[in-house]
A and B are shown apart, each in its own frame.
Chain A
Amino acid sequence: MNSIATPKIPVTVLTGFLGSGKTTLLNRILTEQHGQKIAVIENEFGEVGIDNDLVIDAEEEIFEMNNGCICCTVRGDLIRILGQLMRRKDRFDHILIETTGLADPGPVIQTFFVDEEMQDHLDLDGVVTMVDAGHILLHLDESSEAQEQIAFADVIILNKIDLVDSAQLDGLEKRIRRLNAAARIHRVENASVPVPEVVGVGGFDMTRGLEIDPDLLVPGYPFEWLGVYELEPGRHSLVFDQDPDPSVDVLVLPVDSATDEAVDRRLREATIAFSDRTEPLGADDSIRPDGHLASVELVSGGTSAVLGIEREGAYAVFTEHGAGELGLQLLSADGQLVRPAVDRQIAPDHEHDDTVSSVGIEADGELDPERLNEWLGTLLREKGQDIFRSKGVLAIAGMDERYVFQGVHMLMDGQSDRPWGSDERTNRLIFIGRNLDRDELEGSFNSCLT
């Protein structure tokens, strides 16, 4: 048998609404990339013409395979066109696919996963989404396509930033971040992003590691309020004047001191504890600072729960709802009102109700391979329709190498990567999708830790 290896041609998918500046960007790439031969497959006519000899107009043909399952929906025209283009291998250094403004990027990406010939000859480099800073908010509110285009992206180009002020821009970027915490965001005017940020992004290169916005790794806390109190030993009372729900989850943890810094160090522990199952607090039980989540039944007219403290010190109280909403006060054993030294409202952001979001998970420790397999398999099978993209770098018990994976809907690909060596073994993963339940994902992931 002969050696057959031929270099793969990288392919970039460029998405974005009509008018976002895709064509301007394409023309910039084509004029700046001297010496590189780039073929462009475009679906959208109009706008500005593209100045390139190698432009192929493709009529979008969506093919459903296997009973219309969403992850088997592919672009038939691309299979046909790319199948021919890759034969002209001497002529192209790169292929760019421009999608129509309203296109769901899923079928374009899946095309590269379901066709073995394309896998052998082409390398999906990344999804680049152009966003018109002046119009995207409107699009995000009105169309699921705009949300999906952002959710699928490896690189988001926030274009036409001269049309909005910097406060608007910050808000816009924050909202985009919530949709997709793993993409790189570039702010540009007139599509003037450096070409290497668009071509050669390595978005589907599993060995490139995982960049997740650190703010989004532990963003949506499962509690809405925390307070830190200096407490003497004794049977104190948590008094709830209001009853917004039939019950409220409460967690009390000891902290080193009554400071923000000290409580910050316990946030992760508190988040994990909140994913535990709660036991209703019996009439004679007291809440203890032992890391167990307590569920306090709230009755109209006010509820009082005993907080049993054995040693003098600082204690953090985390509540499922805000202290104001609950009418919460802490009374000492002798009935004196104790004011918190730290009083922090962690209001969940209800400002925009995008159904698309990112859930980033970071956890030290090692994963049990069997539990991980079952968890990921079940998750993608049952929730795959709603998970647009997933990526992860995992530390698996008994494996010296990092395990890297990524997926598009239910299609997943994983492999071992370089050894951990002296680096701390830790797990980072991200899911970007629709109607994701952070608590459930985090809780079920944590159950895979050994």
Chain B
Amino acid sequence: MPDVAGLQTRIEITTTHETEDWVNQISWAPDGSEVYAACADGAVLAVPAGGVGGIREVHRHEGAATCLSIAPDGAVASGGHDGTVRVDGRTTRLGEGDWIERVTWRPDGGRIAAACGRSVHLLGVDGTLEAESSPLGATVTCLAWHPKGVNVAAGSYGGVKVLRGRDGTLATKLPWKGSVLELTVSPDGRRLAHGNQDSTVHFWDIAKKRELHMWGYETKVRELAWRHDGRFLATGGGSSITIWDFSGKGPEGSRPLELDQHAAPVSWLGFRPANRMLASVAADGMLVLWETRASGPVVSAVAFDEPLSVASWSPDGKRIAVGGTRGTVGICEVLEA
């Protein structure tokens, strides 16, 4: 059992639902009434968060549903192996043979960026294709909007390209010799971090083009999360969680905080909205809630019967939805001390 630091905040599993296959991505409806799950059998499902009612199919892709994104008004966008993006039931085909690796709503919900093959496609709120970037050097593996929504960053083998959200033209190149798997832009939009196939993490100060490289991860790194104030970046890449501190002079030469509790590689991590707690899930089936102080104690943890693949905080930060590799969707509640 994990060390529980005294009588305080804890997590409890409130409900679980079974879906057919590996949950690739999970996200909350803005009002917290349900969560949406993109599954490897092609289904995009709405799962009730309150334990009332049944699972509802929102979209069905041929092949896997790889990704989804929820707009502030609740519109569901999803992408899959069939090369289509579905937006609230409408279908837009972007690729013949190419998969949709990512879809992501602009923060204001006014536009969708989708990664398909080597290009980034920009879609309107009804799913209409409005612009397409020039092909990047390799398949686009990850996307992240600038918080203000002006630009969208796209990662691939060979680095990151920051594209204009208006028309997909190139704004800034952040070349890096290696395969980028995931990226994230800091809440103030100044910094960008990407996790890589070669078990490293790379940081950029976008405007100054200053970069910093972090070695020593156990596995490839696809788990990255900024705290709401942009001071900390939590990174996975193995069963340990490494937290870099960007206050003051930044992480260069500093010792990161390491959180060790998981017995298998971490598959997702995320800071609690407007809070300093961090949640993580891993292939050991554990959901762990952490306090990100120097001692890094485990606040609370719950176990599921299958490896967990994804998770998501509810917008109000009171619940966490988790998804597993055998199709379980769990809703957990954070009970304050």
- Since A88-B21, A90-B21 are in contact, a sample of 11 more A-B pairs with Cβ atoms closer than 8 Å, ordered by chain A residue number, is A4-B264, A4-B283, A4-B285, A63-B178, A63-B179, A65-B197, A76-B138, A77-B139, A84-B81, A87-B22, A89-B22
**Given A2-B284, A76-B157, A87 and B21 touching (CB < 8 A)?**
yes
Q: Which residues of A are interface residues toward B (Cβ below 8 A)?
A: 1-2, 4, 6, 57, 59, 61, 63-66, 72, 76-77, 79-80, 84, 87-90, 115-117
Shortest CB distance A70–B (Å): 15
Residues of A within 8 A of B265 (CB): 116
Residues of A within 8 A of B141 (CB): 80
The residue from A6, A77, A84, A90 contacting B64, defined by CB atoms under 8 A apart: A84
Shortest CB distance A149–B (Å): 25
The total of chain B residues at the interface (CB under 8 A) is 36
8 A-B pairs with least C-beta separation: A87-B22, A2-B285, A87-B40, A57-B97, A65-B198, A88-B40, A1-B263, A116-B219
**Given A1-B303, A2-B303, A76-B157, A65 and B285 touching (CB < 8 A)?**
no
Shortest CB distance A43–B (Å): 12
Q: Which residue of the partner chain A has the closest CB to B284?
A: A1
Determine whether the beta carbon of B325 is less than 8 Å from that of A87.
yes
Give the contact stretch, choosing among B53-61, B70-78, B304-312.
B304-312
Shortest CB distance A87–B (Å): 4
5 inter-chain pairs at a CB distance below 8 angstroms, sorted by A residue, are A2-B305, A61-B138, A65-B198, A76-B139, A84-B99
Give the A-B contact count at a CB cut-off of 8 A.
74
Determine whether the beta carbon of B139 is less than 8 Å from that of A80.
yes
Shortest CB distance A240–B (Å): 59
Q: Which residue of the partner chain B has the closest CB to A89?
A: B22
Residues of A within 8 A of B97 (CB): 57
**Given A4-B284, A57-B97, A88 and B22 touching (CB < 8 A)?**
yes
Q: Which residue of the partner chain A has the closest CB to B327?
A: A90
Judged by a CB distance under 8 angstroms, whether B220 is at the interface is yes
Determine whether the beta carbon of A65 is less than 8 Å from that of B66.
no
What separation, in Å, do the CA atoms of A1 and B99 have in the docked complex?
35
Judged by a CB distance under 8 angstroms, whether B24 is at the interface is yes
Residues of B within 8 A of A87 (CB): 21-22, 24, 40, 64, 325
| B30-64 interface (Cβ within 8 A of A) | 40-41, 64
Residues of B within 8 A of A65 (CB): 178-179, 197-198
Judged by a CB distance under 8 angstroms, whether B286 is at the interface is yes
The residue from A63, A88, A116 contacting B41, defined by CB atoms under 8 A apart: A88
Main secondary structure, interface of B, reads loop
Main secondary structure, interface of A, reads mixed
Shortest CB distance B106–A (Å): 25
What separation, in Å, do the CA atoms of A87 and B171 have in the docked complex?
35
What separation, in Å, do the CA atoms of A4 and B282 have in the docked complex?
11
Shortest CB distance A6–B (Å): 8
What separation, in Å, do the CA atoms of A117 and B304 have in the docked complex?
21
Q: Which residue of the partner chain A has the closest CB to B219?
A: A116
Determine whether the beta carbon of B198 is less than 8 Å from that of A66.
yes
What separation, in Å, do the CA atoms of A116 and B263 have in the docked complex?
15
Q: Which residue of the partner chain A has the closest CB to B286?
A: A1
Residues of A within 8 A of B197 (CB): 63, 65, 76, 79, 115
What separation, in Å, do the CA atoms of A90 and B178 have in the docked complex?
32
Determine whether the beta carbon of A117 is less than 8 Å from that of B40.
no
The residue from B157, B264, B306 contacting A63, defined by CB atoms under 8 A apart: B157
Q: Which residue of the partner chain B has the closest CB to A88?
A: B40
Q: Which residue of the partner chain B has the closest CB to A121?
A: B325
Determine whether the beta carbon of A116 is less than 8 Å from that of B220.
yes
What separation, in Å, do the CA atoms of A431 and B157 have in the docked complex?
33
What separation, in Å, do the CA atoms of A2 and B304 have in the docked complex?
8
Chain B CB within 10 A, most for which of A66, A76, A115 = A76
Q: Which residue of the partner chain B has the closest CB to A79?
A: B197
Q: Which residue of the partner chain A has the closest CB to B137?
A: A61
Shortest CB distance A332–B (Å): 71
Give B8-27 as 1s and 0s: 1 = Cβ < 8 Å from A's Cβ atoms. 00000000000001101000
Residues of A within 8 A of B21 (CB): 87-88, 90
Residues of B within 8 A of A66 (CB): 198
Residues of B within 8 A of A64 (CB): 177
What separation, in Å, do the CA atoms of A89 and B219 have in the docked complex?
22
What separation, in Å, do the CA atoms of A79 and B139 have in the docked complex?
12
Give B76-103 as 1s and 0s: 1 = Cβ < 8 Å from A's Cβ atoms. 0000010000000000000001010100
Give B190-223 as 1s and 0s: 1 = Cβ < 8 Å from A's Cβ atoms. 0000000110000000000000000000011000
What separation, in Å, do the CA atoms of A66 and B97 have in the docked complex?
30
Determine whether the beta carbon of B157 is less than 8 Å from that of A84.
no
Determine whether the beta carbon of A84 is less than 8 Å from that of B179.
no
What separation, in Å, do the CA atoms of A117 and B223 have in the docked complex?
14
Determine whether the beta carbon of B284 is less than 8 Å from that of A117.
no
Residues of B within 8 A of A89 (CB): 22
What separation, in Å, do the CA atoms of A90 and B24 have in the docked complex?
15
Residues of B within 8 A of A77 (CB): 139
What separation, in Å, do the CA atoms of A21 and B269 have in the docked complex?
48
Q: Which residue of the partner chain A has the closest CB to B41?
A: A88
What separation, in Å, do the CA atoms of A1 and B41 have in the docked complex?
27
Residues of A within 8 A of B66 (CB): 84
Q: Which residue of the partner chain A has the closest CB to B309?
A: A87
Residues of B within 8 A of A57 (CB): 97
Residues of A within 8 A of B219 (CB): 116-117
Shortest CB distance A110–B (Å): 13
Determine whether the beta carbon of A1 is less than 8 Å from that of B285.
yes
Determine whether the beta carbon of B306 is less than 8 Å from that of A2.
yes
What separation, in Å, do the CA atoms of A4 and B307 have in the docked complex?
6
